[in-house]
Structure 1
């Protein structure tokens, strides 16, 4: 599933992470087993999609905050995936709705990072990932053409802000794609990732329980890329999925195009607070030459050691 992506700015999706990632980073592929129709506004996409703000959690469970994306219902809203019978290699319209507490489809949304809805689709083994932007019909049904190239269990995340809500919401649901399933191992940790002739290097170490600075630097053929293009109102987007339960974090970079201080590369800086240890898959989206590309990393957050 090949994946491209994006979403809201530092203030829309939650820079405080209830999922932890960092300490070690690993290279991966930017292309997975899912394909979607290209968006009219984008020149091209390779792979999938980060400064966010607000909360990275939804509600509490017995006093414990729940990371985004783990619940099908939160904030009085429910993700309703329509249809079934998905098969690997078959193209079709993927459809879903967002329902309110009365079971009525929500039809009013506030834009977050230039879009009303951000849909992320990831295979459970994190070998496939895509971030796309479906269109909504008058009855509140969202649709987008998708082809699941590989069979397996997938997690879909709807990332949005419903009208009347002060913060964004991320809901998740599982979908099954029929066919011969072959699980893929998670790539080993590394500080660099390559995609389509570009190299992305990560500097910085995240420690659970603290706010840490991550800087991702993009070069091509050994030359720094200093003319990154804005994509969904940012020079880069970062999504993290925790291995196992696929807890979700969408982060956007510090600064934005046109603010008078943020340069178009080669460095993109993010801040994230990671309160727990674990293994994560990170996906960085950036645009250059009219094409959105995604660099994938494996990240391991080590427990904080008291001295």
Structure 2
């Protein structure tokens, strides 16, 4: 992950590149081999690189999932490694970002389930984490990391949770999320090809939360996933704790550019009262901001990390 006062990710000029991939559905069983794309530079600021997470291999590294299937509804171990293509060896030298060498995201293909995990690395480069996935369906695993001396990468691969099959749809568009006693409201729009500011306002029992706690060196982390192909956008707040200008709530702001028009799920991790909670939203990125009022508030269960 990459920190900056204002981080804009992924330009819309590449939207057409992913048009054919946009309709990808769930993949069950072990993931089939993916074509290795040409490596691209990762640049902070007005990033012109394509969205992350669409391939298991990129930049000379491959995400190797050792547990491609897990049972649904049960806490189980997830094991994987990041392999250097040039040597075939697991990567062990990482540059820590926001206090961690690697951040792991697991999301269902319909984007109704989201987990932000922080796995533990063994000396041989094998990572492990516990995960409990509630439904038997297809999932996508994202590894967000920076090799020591290299550029930041986000690799993605498929995971299947086994059990009685279930179906679900991506939640309808909404700009208000409820988690425990908290309400989070989303202001601003994702606009293809143009940076826009997103502000999330946190309240508890109707009162503004003005004492958010730093979590992984920030007051909030925002992950955006595009519905369909699950293209991955990861941005950080405009400011950070201790910079003498950023307040600990109730507002946390981000700058982001959508790579294309479409539906996106946004997941905000924030910490208060010693607990990390996740607020989730569904938004549409259109040629012009719709500006429609929220008509689909969502009650979401929080998950500690």
TM-score of Structure 1 vs Structure 2, range by shorter chain:
0.7 to 0.9
Map of 2:265 onto structure 1: 281
Contact 1:276 1:303 (C-alpha < 8 Å) held by counterparts: no
Greater strand content: 1
SS at match of 1:93: strand
Map of 2:9 onto structure 1: 16
Deviation at 1:191, TM superposition (A): 2.4
Contact 1:208 1:275 (C-alpha < 8 Å) held by counterparts: yes
- In the TM superposition, what are the counterparts of 1:152-163 in structure 2 within 5 Å? 152-163=137-148
The root-mean-square deviation of aligned C-alpha atoms, in Å, is 2.3
Question: C-alpha separation between the residues in 1 aligned to 2:163 and 2:47?
Answer: 34
Question: C-alpha separation between the residues in 1 aligned to 2:67 and 2:206?
Answer: 47
Give runs of ≥4 in structure 1 deviating > 6 Å: none
Deviation at 1:157, TM superposition (A): 0.2
Give the TM-score normalised by the residue count of structure 1.
0.79
Map of 1:191 onto structure 2: 175
Contact 1:90 1:148 (C-alpha < 8 Å) held by counterparts: yes
Question: C-alpha separation between the residues in 2 aligned to 1:155 and 1:284?
Answer: 18
Select 1:119's aligned residue among 104, 110, 126. Answer: 104
- In the TM superposition, what are the counterparts of 1:136-147 in structure 2 within 5 Å? 136-147=121-132
Deviation at 1:84, TM superposition (A): 4.0
- Structure 1, unmatched stretches of 5+, are 1-6, 21-51, 58-64
Does the alignment pair 1:290 with 2:274?
yes
Deviation at 1:56, TM superposition (A): 6.0
Select 1:259's aligned residue among 243, 246, 267. Answer: 243
Select 1:90's aligned residue among 57, 74, 77. Answer: 74
Select 2:219's aligned residue among 235, 241, 255. Answer: 235
Map of 1:36 onto structure 2: none
Question: C-alpha separation between the residues in 1 aligned to 2:162 and 2:242?
Answer: 46
Contact 1:235 1:256 (C-alpha < 8 Å) held by counterparts: yes
Deviation at 1:150, TM superposition (A): 1.6
Counting matched residue pairs gives 260
Deviation at 1:15, TM superposition (A): 2.7
Deviation at 1:53, TM superposition (A): 3.6
Question: C-alpha separation between the residues in 1 aligned to 2:69 and 2:200?
Answer: 40
Map of 1:150 onto structure 2: 135
- In the TM superposition, what are the counterparts of 1:167-246 in structure 2 within 5 Å? 167-246=151-230
Question: C-alpha separation between the residues in 2 aligned to 1:90 and 1:130?
Answer: 14
- Structure 2, unmatched stretches of 5+, are 15-42, 290-305
Contact 2:8 2:195 (C-alpha < 8 Å) held by counterparts: no
Deviation at 1:130, TM superposition (A): 0.3
Contact 1:98 1:140 (C-alpha < 8 Å) held by counterparts: yes
From the superposition, tell whether residues 121 and 240 of structure 1 become closer, same or farther in structure 2 (CA, over 3 Å): same
Question: C-alpha separation between the residues in 2 aligned to 1:291 and 1:224?
Answer: 17
Contact 2:51 2:259 (C-alpha < 8 Å) held by counterparts: no
User: Deviation per CA, 1:270-306, whole angstroms, max 9, x where unpaired?
Assistant: 111224201010001111100111110001001249x
Deviation at 1:220, TM superposition (A): 1.0
Contact 1:56 1:67 (C-alpha < 8 Å) held by counterparts: no
Map of 1:132 onto structure 2: 117
Deviation at 1:213, TM superposition (A): 1.1
SS at match of 1:110: coil
- Which segment is superposed worse, 202-211 or 99-108? 202-211
Deviation at 1:153, TM superposition (A): 0.6
User: Deviation per CA, 1:131-177, whole angstroms, max 9, x where unpaired?
Assistant: 01101111100011222232111100000001120x21000000111
